[in-house]
Amino acid sequence: MYQAVRGTMDILPEEQPYWRYVEQAIADISRLYGYRRIDTPIFEDTGLFSRSTGEYTDIVQKEMYTFDDRGGNSLTLKPEGTPPVCRAYIQHGLHNLPQPVKLYYICPIFRYDRPQAGRYRQHYQFGCEAIGDADPTLDAEVIDIAWRFYKSLGLNKISLQLNSIGCRQCRPVYLTVLKDYYAGYTDQLCADCKIRLEKNTLRLLDCKQASCRKIAESAPKSADHLCTECDEHFKKLQQYLGLLKIPFEMNHRLVRGLDYYTRTVFEIQPEEEGTQSTLGGGGRYDDLIEELGGKPTPAIGFACGIERIILNLKKEGVAIPVPDSLRVLIAYRGDAAREEAIKLAAGLRQAGISAVTTTGGKSLKAQMRQANSLNVRYAVIIGEDEVKAGTAVLRDMADARQETIAIGQLVERLR
Ligand code: AMP
């Protein structure tokens, strides 16, 4: 028996209302803030990700689904949404539009992660990117979108963590200070952190191992080593978040798992923290577009996992709208009645009323059981007598009241 591949899942019809609910909230919030949708391909040249996400990140080192196509090109299933959007921005000359260009996406993301609750090998992300402006107003706007998005879904038990990790000017200075600090702890670091110390120093700060975490707690803070411009930018952002009444906590260990971030980084967590709890995160990436061959173009973005949102909607017991069920089931007995049923179903659908006929020659009793389990509002019953008389029985499933009605009047009546 084939099973869905480990770390992937089917979204069965029962689950779909949650997905429609989240998608509607995404469409609403994006419209409110003027973000337009972009869709990029499922796979890209592998180099796009190794170049931007960062050669020594977990994603590039361990998690990408990379394969050669029949032409020998190395391709990778999208492990995150930002680099493809930047590639599209450059490729289609979007710098010619008024800046910043504001975009959003919903797409599947593929990571060879260790599957567990809230962590899958294929998951879906909603992300938005504001490209072409370094103004901290934009940082506040993107954080505001994330914050209001969760609130609009009914997720209220969330917290915002904030940090600034500086820019090309001040980061190297900070990294030297950080390396000096860690030099005193090398023998206590986990194997991954020993490599990080050399290759990806900043990520020492967000190691999940308890012993490394303790060392990180007392590490020098990037926010204390910002250049004047970054410091001012970060202060302005905090001021604007105050204006927007968005509470935040400073978290000096927050650096995010991708290499391209500059200045602002942030994450949204549920208040009750679990291991796979981060609801969403983002930050500024002022050098990425230039790194990918575009003009120097500052930008900021945010992404969140839809499965984790749904887990939290369930955990918080948020009531979601129940979609309309089918309106009408047409039950019948005999071939002549079946023909009437087929015609009637077509007429109802043309009038915008959802309708099904039964199939498979079930007894009338079985057909009525089906009407019950489909939760239809009305059943129409056509037997041999009704065919002869040109009528049908209309049954209101809510109160079991029945009336006989001319078949020609049914569509109008049900409308
Ligand atoms: P990241 O690009 O790692 O910052 O991920 C953005 C968001 O996507 C996270 O905050 C999660 O909500 C979600 N996410 C990341 N990885 C996974 C995964 N393997 N399974 C499910 N959701 C994920």
Looking at the fold, whether 156 and 53 belong to one and the same domain comes out as yes
Q: Is 414 in the pocket of ligand 1 (CB under 6 A)?
A: no
70, 74, 78, 81: CA torsion to nearest 10:
-130
- What's the CA gap between 141 and 131, in Å, rounded? 12
Considering only CA atoms, which residue is closest to atom 13 of ligand 1? 305
Domain count within the chain: 2
What is the 228 CA–ligand 1 centroid distance (Å)? Answer: 33
Mean pLDDT of 289-310: 97
With vertex at residue 357, the alpha carbon angle to CA 351 and CA 362, rounded to the nearest 5 degrees, is 165
Looking at residue 271, the DSSP 8-state letter turns out to be: S
Which tokens belong to 92? 């289609």
| pLDDT tens, residue by residue, 69-103 | 999 999 999 999 999 999 999 999 999 999 999 99
Looking at the fold, whether 311 and 346 belong to one and the same domain comes out as no
Looking at the fold, whether 166 and 252 belong to one and the same domain comes out as yes
Q: Give the percent of the chain with pLDDT over 70.
A: 99
Q: Which of 51-55, 126-130, 234-238 has the lowest mean pLDDT?
A: 51-55
Angle between helices 306-315 and 16-33 (to 10 degrees): 110
Residue 348, domain CATH: 3.40.50.800
Which tokens belong to 331? 């039950």
- What's the CA gap between 44 and 50, in Å, rounded? 11
- What's the CA gap between 107 and 408, in Å, rounded? 47
Contact 284, 229 (CB under 8 A): no
Looking at the fold, whether 161 and 300 belong to one and the same domain comes out as yes
Looking at the fold, whether 280 and 390 belong to one and the same domain comes out as no
Q: Which amino acid is at 82?
A: T
Looking at the fold, whether 53 and 124 belong to one and the same domain comes out as yes
Looking at the fold, whether 141 and 45 belong to one and the same domain comes out as yes
End-to-end CA distance of the chain: 46
Q: Is 280 in the pocket of ligand 1 (CB under 6 A)?
A: yes
Considering only CA atoms, which residue is closest to atom 11 of ligand 1? 305
- What's the CA gap between 331 and 158, in Å, rounded? 50
- What's the CA gap between 308 and 110, in Å, rounded? 15
What is the 105 CA–ligand 1 centroid distance (Å)? Answer: 14
Looking at the fold, whether 304 and 339 belong to one and the same domain comes out as no
CB neighbourhood size of 23 (10 A): 14
Is the residue at 188 inside a domain?
A: no
Is the residue at 345 inside a domain?
A: yes
For residue 275, what pLDDT is reported? 45
| pLDDT tens, residue by residue, 9-67 | 999 999 999 999 999 999 999 999 999 999 999 999 999 999 888 887 888 888 999 99
Last residue of a domain, one of 315, 338, 366: 315
Looking at the fold, whether 300 and 333 belong to one and the same domain comes out as no
Looking at the fold, whether 155 and 273 belong to one and the same domain comes out as yes
Contact 344, 407 (CB under 8 A): yes
Of 352, 355, 333, the C-alpha closest to 344 is 355
Task: Using the CB atoms, write b or e for 164-203: b if 16+ within 10 Å.
Answer: bbbbeebbeebbeebeeebeebeeebeebbeebbeebbbb
Residue-range definition of the domain harbouring residue 392: 328-414
Q: Is 312 in the pocket of ligand 1 (CB under 6 A)?
A: no
Is the residue at 219 inside a domain?
A: no
Considering only CA atoms, which residue is closest to atom 2 of ligand 1? 80
Categorize the per-residue pLDDT at 277 as very low, low, confident or very high, splitting at 50, 70 and 90.
confident
Last residue of a domain, one of 285, 315, 345: 315
